[in-house]
Amino acid sequence: MRESFTLDQLRRFSLIVVAIGIVIGISGAVRTGSIIISLSASIFILARFSQSQVKRGIELVLPLTICALLFVMALSLPDAR
């Protein structure tokens, strides 16, 4: 049995989960869709950053900040179904 995923498999899986989160958000569960999108997008960002040859901090910090703000916004939505 395989013990871990490769980074390419992790990136593909997180992109699929982002697409699922978008469909969930469109169908009416905005809070759940936003939380799924923010968590899976941050996993994608971390996997992509670890594969990059040139590591600049802004390429990690800015997208993760956007994902964190989306997560906080999703939690603070009033009357989200």
pLDDT greater than 70 at residue 8:
yes
**Could you give the CA distance from residue 70 to residue 47 in angstroms, rounded to a whole number?**
19
Amino acid at 45: I
pTM over 0.75: yes
Q: What is the pLDDT of residues 34-79, one digit of tens each?
A: 999 999 999 889 888 888 888 888 888 999 999 999 899 888 877 6
CA 14-49-8 angle, to 5 degrees, is 45
Look at residue 4 in the predicted model and tell me its pLDDT: 73
Sign of CA dihedral 30, 32, 38, 41: negative
Name the residue ranges covered by the structural domains of the chain. 7-75
- For tokens 């590591």, the residue is 55
